[in-house]
């Protein structure tokens, strides 16, 4: 009875605390993630990249099925050896600040990425030379054949920013993004929200809503409560264990679809015990992945059975590591760690990730790996991982709950940024400092040919080799479960864990 008396007051508080733009043609998108950056060249998380894609565009992009589509380029061509790629640019497009979009604007952005200073600079690593052919034609000349180069150009990390804004703001462009997209940047209040507004001068199909506010809400139950109360029109993820509650609400539609979002445990291999492959293999045997999926993830996942998810190009199935506690204990003893060791369990504070980490901690205690959980918002989590450096004299003994989606749709981006020796942070995302010459050579083999059969063979061997070396504690691949009010149409989740809001529309 007390709850029933308090509920109207709670709903009133939500209404009062919500900004005025929550009415009319304005959308609230509640997520378990926090925006980390709005500089596409220096962004390493899919959530931030998806927000960037609402305002900024690239030469190429992806549709919701991760098929490559032209965006600011109207067409492209390449030579027989896949070492030269030429793009014809659309005409008559302007950035939000009035700067013309042309070949010079592309040159400025590519030159910035090619400095190697930024997290997405590796997308342009194959480029030897960039040429402006004329005002609306550009050419990339590569160091060697690279059949997946158009995938790299389509990646959100290659979005094009106004050169005038780059000149004005420099690396502070993250707080002042200026693109050519259907929405323009309005404000970013750190820890609270990012808001974008409709671009009335957009060159393509105009947006149908006035604004979208992306609000971090780490706790799953709170997100669902907002949706049911009409204080959010879209939530991602919808906690799978709460789906039955949502299904009983006639105002809500539930979205379910496969993804390419891999979840895994990152061991800091600079810490001596975690440098031992037998210990890392023991971790894999000690993890009861099915239980974690069922309890922490509400069943909304499938076992990770290779280092890349099934829907990525050149995937090669390995077979999930079995749960075998006795085998895990034997490997720990063989490695000289029968009595275990201590670690810090790092995790974002989103409720499902925190639950999964709590279960991982309990499971690993059975083989003597013990420690405390350190949780934080997702932006702080990645900042924490990126703060570590190779050859740290006092490496932090961490096991981190990681996630990755290869937003190029290709095996290269599902392996190179995560396992290459050249991919140590802060340049890329090999946060566990895993380094292996055979792996490096196979990664290079996958890059050095345009022949799909050659690439397929290289990536099949690469997956075989990495799987046994266990640079991760392999967990699972997400099934996307999101919720929306039935009055909202057009927001579409993408397989990489991102989203497309270009056709968002509120209906009566």
Model pTM? 0.82
Grade residue 450 by pLDDT with cuts at 50, 70 and 90.
Answer: confident
Q: What's the confidence (pLDDT) of residue 407?
A: 86
pLDDT tens for 247-267 read 999 999 999 999 999 999 999
**CB of 381 closer than 8 Å to CB of 39:** no
Residue 67 half-sphere exposure, CB side, CA atoms within 13 Å? 3
Model confidence at 446: pLDDT above 60: yes
351 contact partners, CB below 8 Å, separation of at least 6: 32, 218, 219, 220, 221, 239
Tokens coding 72: 């600011």
Q: In CATH, which superfamily holds the domain spanning 19-37+176-256+482-506?
A: Periplasmic binding protein-like II (3.40.190.10)
Q: What's the confidence (pLDDT) of residue 469?
A: 98
216 contact partners, CB below 8 Å, separation of at least 6: 30, 31, 32, 33, 34, 35, 191, 192, 193, 377
**CB of 469 closer than 8 Å to CB of 439:** yes
Give residue 206's Cα distance to chain centre: 27
Q: State mean pLDDT over 339-365.
A: 97
Model confidence at 2: pLDDT above 90: no
| Separation of alpha carbons 506 and 486, rounded Å | 9
260 contact partners, CB below 8 Å, separation of at least 6: 66, 308, 309, 311, 312, 405, 406, 409, 414, 477, 495, 496, 497
Better pLDDT: 239 or 433: 433
- Per DSSP, helices labelled H in 114-229 are 149-154, 163-169, 220-229
Q: What's the confidence (pLDDT) of residue 240?
A: 85
Give, as one character, the DSSP assignment of residue 160. Answer: B
Grade residue 80 by pLDDT with cuts at 50, 70 and 90.
Answer: confident
With pLDDT > 70 as the criterion, what percentage of the chain qualifies? Answer: 95
Residue 324 main-chain phi, psi, to 5 deg: -145, 90
pLDDT tens for 288-325 read 999 999 999 999 999 999 999 999 999 999 999 999 99
Give domain 40-169's CATH number out of 3.90.76.10, 3.30.43.10, 3.40.50.300, 3.40.50.720: 3.90.76.10
In this chain, the answer to whether the domains covering 19-37+176-256+482-506 and 40-169 adopt an identical fold is no
Partners of 118 in the β-ladder: none
Q: Indicate the SS3 state at residue 182.
A: coil
Maximal C-alpha separation, the chain: 74
**CB of 237 closer than 8 Å to CB of 217:** no
Q: State mean pLDDT over 327-336.
A: 98
Q: State mean pLDDT over 42-55.
A: 95
Taking all residues of the chain, what is their mean pLDDT, rounded to a whole number?
93
Q: What's the confidence (pLDDT) of residue 4?
A: 37
Question: Which residue, among 61, 55, 84, has the nearest Cα to 74 in the 3D structure?
Answer: 61
Query: So where are the chain's domains?
Result: 19-37+176-256+482-506, 40-169, 258-479
Q: State mean pLDDT over 26-39.
A: 95
Model confidence at 20: pLDDT above 80: no
User: Residue 339: exposed, middle, or buried by beta-carbon count in 10 A (0-12, 13-18, 19+)?
Assistant: exposed
Q: What's the confidence (pLDDT) of residue 448?
A: 80
pLDDT tens for 148-163 read 899 999 999 999 999 9
pLDDT tens for 460-508 read 999 999 999 999 999 999 999 999 999 999 999 999 999 999 999 999 7
Q: What's the confidence (pLDDT) of residue 24?
A: 54
Give the position of tokens 């204990």.
329
Domain 258-479 -> CATH class: alpha beta
With pLDDT > 90 as the criterion, what percentage of the chain qualifies? Answer: 86
pLDDT tens for 104-150 read 999 999 999 999 999 999 899 999 999 999 999 999 999 988 888 99
Give residue 210's Cα distance to chain centre: 26
């Amino acid at each position: 009875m007390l709850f029933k008396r308090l509920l109207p007051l709670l709903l009133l508080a939500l209404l009062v605390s919500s900004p005025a733009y929550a009415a009319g043609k304005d959308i609230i998108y509640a997520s378990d993630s926090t925006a980390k950056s709005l500089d596409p060249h220096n962004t390493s998380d899919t959530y931030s990249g998806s927000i960037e894609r609402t305002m900024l565009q690239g030469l190429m992009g992806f549709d919701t099925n991760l098929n490559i589509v032209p965006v600011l380029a109207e067409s492209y061509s390449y030579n027989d050896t896949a070492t030269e790629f030429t793009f014809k640019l659309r005409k008559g497009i302007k950035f939000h600040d009035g700067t013309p979009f042309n070949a010079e604007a592309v040159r400025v952005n590519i030159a910035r990425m090619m400095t190697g200073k930024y997290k997405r600079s590796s997308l342009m690593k194959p480029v030897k030379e960039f040429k402006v052919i004329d005002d609306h034609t550009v050419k990339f000349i590569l160091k060697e054949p690279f059949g997946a180069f158009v995938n790299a150009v389509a990646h959100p990390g290659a979005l094009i920013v106004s050169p005038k804004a780059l000149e004005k703001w420099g690396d502070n462009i993250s707080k002042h993004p200026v693109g050519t997209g259907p929405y323009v940047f309005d404000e970013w209040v750190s820890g609270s929200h990012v808001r974008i507004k409709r671009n009335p001068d957009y060159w393509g199909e105009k947006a149908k809503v006035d604004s979208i506010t992306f609000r971090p809400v780490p706790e799953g139950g709170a997100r669902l409560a907002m949706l049911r109360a009409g204080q959010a029109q879209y939530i991602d993820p919808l906690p799978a264990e709460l789906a039955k509650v949502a299904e009983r609400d006639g105002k809500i539609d539930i979205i379910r679809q496969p993804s390419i979002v891999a979840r895994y445990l990152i061991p800091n291999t600079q810490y001596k015990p975690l440098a031992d492959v037998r210990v890392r293999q023991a971790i894999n045997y000690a993890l009861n992945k099915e239980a974690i999926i069922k309890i922490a993830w509400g069943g909304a996942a499938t076992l990770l059975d290779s280092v890349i998810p099934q829907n990525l190009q050149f995937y090669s199935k390995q077979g999930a590591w079995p749960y075998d506690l006795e085998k895990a204990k034997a490997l720990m003893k063989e490695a000289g760690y029968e009595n275990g060791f201590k670690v810090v369990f790092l995790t974002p504070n989103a409720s499902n990730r925190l639950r999964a980490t709590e279960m991982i901690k309990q499971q690993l205690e059975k083989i003597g790996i013990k420690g405390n959980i350190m949780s934080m918002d997702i932006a702080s989590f990645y900042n924490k991982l990126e703060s570590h450096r190779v050859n740290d004299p006092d490496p932090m003994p961490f096991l981190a709950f990681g996630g990755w989606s290869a937003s190029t749709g290709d095996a290269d981006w599902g392996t190179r940024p995560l396992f290459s020796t050249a991919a140590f942070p802060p340049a890329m995302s090999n946060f566990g400092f895993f380094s292996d010459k055979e792996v490096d050579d196979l990664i290079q083999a996958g890059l050095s040919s345009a022949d799909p059969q050659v690439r397929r063979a290289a990536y099949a061997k690469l997956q075989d080799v990495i799987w046994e070396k266990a640079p991760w504690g392999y967990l699972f691949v997400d099934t996307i479960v999101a919720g929306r009010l039935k009055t909202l149409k057009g927001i579409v989740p993408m397989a990489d864990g991102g989203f497309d809001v270009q056709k968002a529309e509120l209906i009566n």
